[in-house]
Amino acid sequence: MRNSRGPHRLRGSIAARLRGRTSLRVVIACALLTVLTLPVVPASWRLDSNPNPPSPGQISSAENRVKQQRAALGAQQGRLSAAAATLAQLQTQAEVLTERYDEVQVDEQRAAAAYRVTQTRLKYAQRARNASQRSLADLAAEEFESGGGFDSMTSMLGDANGPQGYLNEVGLGQVLAQRGTDTLAESQANDVVAKVFRNQAHDLLVAQQADLRAARDLKLAIQAAVARQGAFVRASRAKRNTLAHQLATSQAHVAALQAARRAALAAEAAAAAARAAAAAQEGPSQAPSWALGSGASSTQGDIAANWALTQLGKPYQWGGAGPDSYDCSGLTMDAWARAGVQLAHWTGYQWQSGPQIPLGDLQRGDLLFYATNNADPATIHHVGIYIGNGMMVDAPYTGAFVRIDSIYQPGVPIGAIRPAG
């Protein structure tokens, strides 16, 4: 049963607040000044739509995400450094092979020039050989005309074939032996020199052309390897930059969570200060006071606890009050509504909704509250519903689901309340 003095107390509280309006303005102004000095909080964290501040669990989860992303960024930076080092080595090899190609190309050009010179020499040698052959012919004619001695002249004149027949008969070697051995030797030497020059120059040119093709192939291969490694380095750098951007975004998210929590706690403290000022204006008799036996029945508690168990697995959502998602106070509000008890959707008001129960006397359905400072109820930020055996059902934080936790999982409770029915 509800405390029958509740409505009278509420009317007295309103009257007292009207009488103490001046004092309240001072307190609220101080609270607003405190909130305005905090970091700017994104609109998505505004307390009018999300009365509960980010929990330590949420902030810890976001910080763990930052650690994971920082580790991923470090690993990617290591891969990028290794890829860049490989690229530098390939570029050095490419420079060496390109210089080798340039050297072989120059050598091939020189070999081609040498071959052209040799071809010219070969022409001169052929001319010399032709000249030697003409000299031999002239020598033969001269021998014929001069007679070469009586016997020879007689033989030649008596030869029906004339001087040519004579030369054929006596043999060209005999004529040369007598008059032109040097001319024949010169002709043979010119042939040998021309052939040597031609063979050497041709072999050198062929070898240099083969070297040039090999050097060109090596140059093209290393240039392709450099291009592939350069593309890999660029891709690695782009991935590193993406990870760095993600890390910066996550770090900003952590800062926003922390700022939102500070702002929410500051606003809650300001509201508590305002309530305290109002209570001071009303007098001690206006403070909430519940008789121990004024809480709801155990049957109502069982109804609330049993219904909360049917919501396991539904996602947490700030400001959520069902039926598809919940925050912590939305879950307890809906659970107790099934038992016929109306609670406000805020942990601060639910803390005042019934008598406090020692932790050793808990019964199913009692509400367990958690604060950042167990000496100050104004810092309460979480509530769960007791289901027995030291366990509770709660909606913990963003990213989690309605679940069963130990009553000490979030920390030591600041206290427990049995809602007044």
The set of residues, in sequence order, having a beta carbon less than 8 Å from that of 107 and lying 6+ positions away, is 208, 211, 212
State how many domains the chain has: 2
Encode pLDDT of 259-298 as tens digits: 888 777 777 667 766 766 665 555 433 435 677 678 889 9
> Of 206, 239, 272, which residue constitutes the final position of a domain?
239
Does 417 reside within a domain? Answer: yes
The pLDDT of residue 80 is 93
- Answer whether 334's CB lies under 8 Å from 385's CB: no
Q: Which residue has the tokens 């002239």?
A: 138
- Answer whether 349's CB lies under 8 Å from 268's CB: no
C-alpha to C-alpha distance for 388 and 362, rounded to whole angstroms: 8
The pLDDT of residue 287 is 39
Encode pLDDT of 40-51 as tens digits: 444 444 444 455
For 181, half-sphere exposure in the C-beta direction (CA atoms, 13 angstrom radius) is: 3
- Answer whether 389's CB lies under 8 Å from 329's CB: no
- Is residue 210 located within the same domain as residue 298? no
* SS3 of residue 331 by DSSP: helix
Does 94 reside within a domain? Answer: no
Does 326 reside within a domain? Answer: yes
- Answer whether 342's CB lies under 8 Å from 354's CB: no
Residue type at 206? V
The pLDDT of residue 266 is 72
> Of 239, 263, 278, which residue constitutes the final position of a domain?
239
- Is residue 317 located within the same domain as residue 233? no
- Is residue 205 located within the same domain as residue 303? no
> Of 199, 219, 239, which residue constitutes the final position of a domain?
239
Q: What is the CATH number of the domain that holds 409?
A: 3.90.1720.10
Encode pLDDT of 69-116 as tens digits: 999 999 999 999 999 999 999 989 888 888 878 888 888 888 888 888
Does 81 reside within a domain? Answer: no
The pLDDT of residue 186 is 62
Does 77 reside within a domain? Answer: no
To the nearest 10 degrees (0 to 180), the angle between helices 328-337 and 298-309 is: 130
- Is residue 317 located within the same domain as residue 421? yes
C-alpha to C-alpha distance for 242 and 235, rounded to whole angstroms: 11
C-alpha to C-alpha distance for 13 and 288, rounded to whole angstroms: 11
Sign of the dihedral through C-alpha 269, 274, 275, 280: positive
Does 262 reside within a domain? Answer: no
End-to-end, the C-alpha distance of the chain in Å comes to 4
- Is residue 178 located within the same domain as residue 295? no
Does 375 reside within a domain? Answer: yes
User: Angle at CA 410, nearest 5°, toward 408 and 414?
Assistant: 70
* Preceding omega of 323 cis (within 30 degrees of 0): yes
Give me the domain span that covers residue 155.
Answer: 107-239
pLDDT beneath 70, residues of the chain: 1-52, 132, 136, 139-191, 193-194, 197, 268-269, 272-273, 275-289, 292, 421
The set of residues, in sequence order, having a beta carbon less than 8 Å from that of 104 and lying 6+ positions away, is 208, 211, 212, 214, 215
- Is residue 153 located within the same domain as residue 225? yes
The pLDDT of residue 102 is 87
Nearest by Cα to 143 from 183, 185, 99 = 183
- Is residue 303 located within the same domain as residue 421? yes
Does 38 reside within a domain? Answer: no
